[in-house]
């Protein structure tokens, strides 16, 4: 057990360390280069914009400097989002809004721009660390899209969807549709060998919900396509039938539903190139085969109470 | 896609009529009533079949749901708390059920203990929007997940019955 004197000494040591480290921090800040007011097209080593402005000189882009007046919202700061955000920053984007509810982990290190010492921090320190699909956060999300532009109160110029699940994409689709906001949607397949990007302009291009069929390239089908040559060789081998005692919940590795039943259960499948299939099909328009909930006069409160009593 | 027993129990869950989500004010109240009716019927059916395996209730607005589910394995009853939010795009997108105490214990779980429903459930939900509701989420989503994952977790010793934990 340390004495009071020893503790006092330790406290003084720590205070000194703190002062020194704060000093170092402010020194580092002073070494930050000052903001460059006007983008120069000069081709010299010391100009961070030289290769970007070259695009303008070559006629690829007009008015490259305009990038500084744009605000982009990046939803999802994972494999796609973090690289996007970094590159936009390097290109001189005016303002970035980042949305992600997740934390940095070591598992992210193979592709995200965070560093190992940042593991445990939320991916989006001090900006928008929430799940956009909940009703409360969604309202805030829509507000930021419509008012978070470079000039506060104006909408952002572009929304980039870099999320990894259908629910978030649908939420972004709903928001951008209601706000008439141009956005781009992206996705990478689970086996990481394919991906897609699409531009969506509400009112002009197809909405996300209409293109959802080709959004997912099932991993299984791709693998099957790769295995085809081998399969042909072993066709003589007898297929082992999967047997189990009971299967109360209908879990299956190999489908027990016959081909005919499967055809019945799916909707019409569009004509697709080999190796691609749909993960979702259009449900039939006719009324379902089941019975619907009965009509009742009970109010919501009464129903809630009834449920509680069960 | 499901076997006879599941199809039978699901077919006895009434289908829902109102296609509205939590941002729709009046119509959402109507949808909530239908959700409760379907859930009550499903729990009653379960009790009659001696397979009463969950309870659910919600906050006043019906946007946050929580409850318990049980799974019987080798004559022991395992109980888990569960919860989920209604997403803004409901019922086009299904809620993500979470079992916080099992967070990280199975290979495919998402933040906060959300169970993986992608393969066996989401396509089925998408084809039946808006007729499916929370009762169907339980019957076709959580139920099968418990049936597959819990025995596996018990076999690996990752979860123990609370009687064993106290000793």
Number of domains in chain B: 1
- The model's pLDDT over A197-252, given as tens digits with 9 standing for 90+, comes to 999 998 887 666 554 444 444 444 444 444 444 444 444 344 455 455 555 555 55
> Do residues B144 and B125 touch, judged by C-beta distance below 8 A?
no
How many Cα atoms are found within 13 Å in the side-chain-facing hemisphere of A225? 11
> Do residues A159 and A176 touch, judged by C-beta distance below 8 A?
yes
Q: Which domain holds residue B26?
A: 2-154
Please report whether residue B162 resides in a domain: no
Residues in B touching A290 (Cβ below 8 Å): 11, 13-15, 131
DSSP A189: -
What values do phi and psi take at B80, rounded to 5? -135, 145
Mutate to test the interface with A, among B59, B88, B146 (most CBs of A within 10 A): B88
pTM, entire model? 0.67
Beta bridge mates, A73:
A97, A159
Average pLDDT over residues A89-96: 87
Residue B167 Cα, gap to closest chain A Cα (Å): 32
**CATH classification at residue A202:** 3.40.50.720
Please report whether residue B165 resides in a domain: no
- A102, A298, A303: residue with CB nearest B111: A102
Q: Is B69 a catalytic residue?
A: no
Mutate to test the interface with A, among B6, B45, B62, B93 (most CBs of A within 10 A): B93
Residue A210 Cα, gap to closest chain B Cα (Å): 13
Please report whether residue A103 resides in a domain: yes
**CATH classification at residue B42:** 3.10.110.10
- A173, A249, A308: residue with CB nearest B144: A249
> Do residues A105 and A119 touch, judged by C-beta distance below 8 A?
yes
Average pLDDT over residues A161-189: 90
Please report whether residue A222 resides in a domain: no
- The model's pLDDT over A136-157, given as tens digits with 9 standing for 90+, comes to 788 888 988 999 888 888 899 9
Inform me whether the pLDDT recorded for A176 exceeds 80: yes
Please report which confidence band the pLDDT of residue A110 belongs to, taking 50, 70 and 90 as the band edges: low
Inform me whether the pLDDT recorded for B86 exceeds 80: yes
Please report whether residue A91 resides in a domain: yes
Number of domains in chain A: 1
Average pLDDT over residues A174-186: 92
User: What integer pLDDT is reported at residue A307 of this predicted model?
Assistant: 81
What angle, 0 to 180 degrees and rounded to 10, lies between the N-to-C axes of helices A135-147 and A166-179?
A: 50
Please report whether residue B91 resides in a domain: yes
What values do phi and psi take at B69, rounded to 5? -135, 155
State how far the Cα of B136 lies from the Cα of A98, in Å rounded to an integer.
35
Please report whether residue B65 resides in a domain: yes
- Select from B31, B127, B34, B115 the least CA-distant residue to B81: B115
Radius of gyration over every alpha carbon of chain B, rounded to an integer in angstroms: 16
DSSP B141: I
Please report whether residue B160 resides in a domain: no
- Taking an 8 Å cut-off on Cβ atoms, the answer to whether B22 and A298 are in contact is no
Strands B64-73 and B76-85: antiparallel
Contacts of B166 (CB under 8 A, 6+ apart): none
Average pLDDT over residues B37-55: 91
Please report whether residue B159 resides in a domain: no
Residues in chain A: 310
CB neighbour burial string for A113-149, b if at least 16 within 10 angstroms, e if fewer: bbeeebeeebbbeeebbbbbbbbebbeebbebbbebb
- B16, B22, B123: residue with CB nearest A135: B22
- Select from B124, B152, B154, B129 the least CA-distant residue to B16: B129
Please report whether residue A87 resides in a domain: yes
State how far the Cα of A283 lies from the Cα of A277, in Å rounded to an integer.
16
DSSP B137: I
Please report whether residue B137 resides in a domain: yes
B95 to chain A: nearest residue by CA?
A: A167
Please report whether residue B161 resides in a domain: no
Q: Which domain holds residue A189?
A: 60-215
CB neighbour burial string for B75-98, b if at least 16 within 10 angstroms, e if fewer: eeebebebbbbbbbbbbbbbbbbb
Please report whether residue A246 resides in a domain: no
Please report whether residue A308 resides in a domain: no
């Amino acid at each position: 057990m340390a004495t009071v004197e020893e503790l006092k000494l330790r406290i003084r040591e720590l205070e000194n360390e703190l002062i020194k480290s704060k000093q170092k921090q402010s020194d580092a800040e002073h070494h930050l280069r000052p903001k460059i007011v006007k983008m120069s097209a000069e081709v010299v080593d010391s100009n961070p914009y030289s290769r970007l402005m070259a695009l303008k000189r070559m006629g690829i882009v007009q008015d490259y400097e305009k990038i500084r007046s744009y605000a982009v919202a990046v939803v999802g700061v994972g494999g796609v989002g973090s690289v996007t955000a970094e590159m936009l920053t390097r290109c001189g984007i005016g303002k970035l809004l980042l949305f992600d509810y997740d934390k940095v982990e070591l598992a992210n290190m193979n592709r995200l721009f965070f560093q190992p010492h940042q593991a445990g921090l939320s991916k989006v320190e001090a900006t928008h660390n929430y799940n956009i699909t909940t009703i409360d956060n969604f309202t805030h999300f829509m507000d930021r899209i419509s008012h978070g532009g470079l000039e506060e109160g104006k909408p952002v110029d572009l929304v980039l969807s870099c999320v990894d699940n259908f629910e978030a994409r649908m939420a972004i689709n709903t928001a951008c549709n209601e706000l008439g906001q141009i956005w781009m949607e992206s996705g990478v397949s689970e086996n990481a060998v394919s991906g897609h990007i699409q531009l969506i302009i509400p009112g002009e291009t197809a909405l996300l919900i209409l293109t959802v069929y080709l959004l997912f390239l099932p991993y299984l089908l791709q693998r099957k396509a790769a295995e085809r040559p081998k399969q042909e060789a072993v066709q003589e081998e007898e297929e082992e039938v999967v047997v189990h005692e009971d299967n109360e919940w209908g879990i299956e590795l190999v489908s027990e539903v016959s081909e005919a039943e499967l055809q019945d259960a799916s909707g019409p499948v569009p004509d697709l190139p080999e190796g691609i299939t749909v993960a979702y099909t259009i449900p039939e328009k006719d009324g379902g085969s089941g019975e619907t909930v009965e009509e009742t006069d009970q109010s919501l409160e009464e129903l809630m109470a009834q449920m509680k009593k069960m | 896609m499901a076997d006879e027993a599941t199809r039978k129990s699901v077919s006895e869950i009434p289908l829902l009529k109102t296609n509205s989500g939590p941002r729709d004010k009046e119509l959402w109240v109507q949808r909530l009533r239908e959700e409760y009716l379907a859930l009550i019927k499903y729990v009653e059916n379960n009790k009659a079949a001696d397979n009463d395996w969950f309870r659910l209730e919600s906050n006043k607005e019906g946007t946050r749901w929580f409850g318990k589910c049980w799974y019987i394995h080798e004559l022991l009853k395992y109980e888990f708390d569960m919860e989920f939010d209604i997403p803004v795009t409901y019922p086009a997108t299904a809620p993500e059920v979470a079992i916080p105490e099992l967070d990280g214990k199975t290979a495919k779980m998402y933040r906060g203990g959300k169970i993986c429903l992608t393969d066996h459930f989401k396509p089925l939900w998408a084809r039946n929007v808006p007729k499916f509701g929370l009762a169907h989420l339980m019957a076709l989503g959580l139920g099968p997940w418990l049936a597959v994952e819990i025995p596996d977790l018990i076999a690996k010793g990752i979860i123990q019955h609370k009687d064993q934990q106290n000793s």
